């Protein structure tokens, strides 16, 4: 729910809780109900080594006692930056630094005002997973992308015995990669903002996976991928846009989309209109009503 302040939100959810109990004998689970404040990303203090130590990361350097979230991070540190226990690189920008910064932003949410349901405070959260998609309060473009990418990476790693099996033909591995790994990654991609940074992340993920699946070099899998993940996402989003344009004008999804793009002279960066030559709603609607014509536009993407 979107309200101007926590007082209005408290009054509304309390009314819903009382009405549900009186009219339908249903109880709202206050333990499962969370409050997500919408705000711009706020700066937090720089990461200290003490805060990294508090994370209890499992990979520890035997020379300088620094800890790392991944074995690869530790090996890079030892090979490039650690010389007999003397450090030559700061933590800024590393995975450990990002983890600490994330924890700080989560902690700041508890300091915000709380929504109250029948005199019981609801927990404030920094992000919330709903129907498989991660919604983040500061509206970062890559939050859900990274969430889906992590889930897809877990699935990809669980199939290493197949990727390394030379008895399985590459064509079959690619079909499995598309249906099992990419299916998880692209869930909810219609709502993503495909900025240059997000596209770069997707292409990097795809390149690393294809390198393992096909045995080709990273350069080849990035420049000439056997499966173009970014193109697949763009075509999927374009098909979804056609569905929206064919909806009745009273559908909430279409009304929200029109309100988002109305008045723009060019498609917003990374929006569903990124591959469209126009933002004219009537023109897009006329084109989408001709399904064959719209499908040609989808297939013409490259």
- pLDDT (tens digit per residue) in 149-182: 999 999 999 999 999 999 999 999 999 999 999 9
Q: Quote the tokens at residue 220.
A: 């080849």
> What distance in Å separates the CA atoms of residue 136 and residue 269, rounded to the nearest whole number?
19
Domain ranges, residue 71: 49-97
Grouping H, G, I as helix, E, B as strand and the rest as coil, residue 92 is coil
> What distance in Å separates the CA atoms of residue 120 and residue 102, rounded to the nearest whole number?
27
CB 85 within 8 A of CB 77: no
Whether residue 104 is contained in a domain is answered as no
67 & 129 share domain:
no
Whether residue 269 is contained in a domain is answered as yes
146 & 221 share domain:
yes
Calculate the alpha carbon distances from 4 to 9, 21, 108, 168 in Å.
Answer: 8, 26, 20, 57
185 & 70 share domain:
no
Closest CA to 234 of 149, 141, 298, 147: 298
Calculate the alpha carbon distances from 232 to 279, 281, 284 in Å.
Answer: 22, 24, 21
- Please tell me the total count of domains within the chain: 4
| Residue 200 scores a pLDDT above 80 | yes
CB 57 within 8 A of CB 13: no
Domain boundary among 204, 227, 250: 227
Q: At what angle do helices 291-299 and 229-245 cross, to 10 degrees?
A: 160
| Residue 265 scores a pLDDT above 60 | no
CB 121 within 8 A of CB 114: yes
Q: Which residues of 74-98 are buried (b: 16+ CB within 10 A; e: fewer)?
A: beebbeeebeeeeeeeebeebebbe
Percent of the chain whose predicted confidence (pLDDT) is above 70: 95
What is this structure's pTM? 0.80
Whether residue 198 is contained in a domain is answered as yes
> What distance in Å separates the CA atoms of residue 146 and residue 154, rounded to the nearest whole number?
12
- pLDDT (tens digit per residue) in 54-110: 888 888 888 787 888 888 888 888 887 776 655 556 778 788 888 888 888 888 888
- pLDDT (tens digit per residue) in 115-146: 999 889 999 999 888 888 888 888 787 889 99
- pLDDT (tens digit per residue) in 17-27: 999 999 989 98
């Amino acid at each position: 729910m979107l309200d101007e302040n926590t007082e209005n939100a408290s009054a509304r959810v309390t009314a819903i809780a009382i009405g549900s109990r009186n009219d339908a004998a249903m109880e709202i689970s206050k333990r499962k109900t969370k409050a997500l404040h919408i705000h711009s990303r706020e700066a937090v203090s720089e990461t200290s080594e003490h805060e990294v130590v508090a994370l209890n990361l499992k990979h520890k350097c035997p020379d300088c006692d620094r800890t790392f979230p991944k074995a690869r991070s530790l090996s890079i540190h030892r090979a490039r930056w650690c010389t007999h226990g003397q450090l030559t690189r700061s933590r800024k920008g590393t995975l450990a630094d990002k983890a600490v910064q994330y924890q700080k932003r989560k902690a700041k949410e508890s300091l915000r005002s709380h929504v109250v349901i029948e005199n019981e405070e609801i927990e404030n959260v920094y992000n919330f997973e709903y129907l498989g998609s991660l919604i983040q309060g500061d509206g970062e473009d890559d939050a859900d992308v990274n969430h889906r990418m992590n889930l897809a990476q877990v699935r990809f790693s669980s199939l290493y015995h197949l990727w390394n099996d030379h008895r399985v033909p590459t064509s079959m591995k690619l079909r499995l990669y598309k249906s099992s790994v990419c299916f998880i990654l692209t869930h909810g991609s219609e709502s993503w903002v495909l900025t240059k940074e997000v596209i770069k992340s997707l292409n990097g993920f795809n390149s690393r996976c294809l390198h393992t699946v096909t045995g080709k070099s990273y350069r080849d899998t990035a420049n000439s991928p056997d499966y173009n993940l970014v193109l697949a996402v763009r075509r999927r989003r374009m098909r979804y846009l056609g569905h929206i344009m064919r909806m009745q004008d009273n559908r909430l999804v279409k009304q929200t989309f029109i309100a988002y793009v109305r008045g723009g002279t060019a498609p917003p960066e990374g929006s569903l209109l990124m591959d469209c030559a126009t933002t004219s709603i009537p023109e897009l609607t006329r084109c989408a009503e001709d399904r064959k014509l719209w499908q040609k536009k989808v297939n013409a993407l490259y």
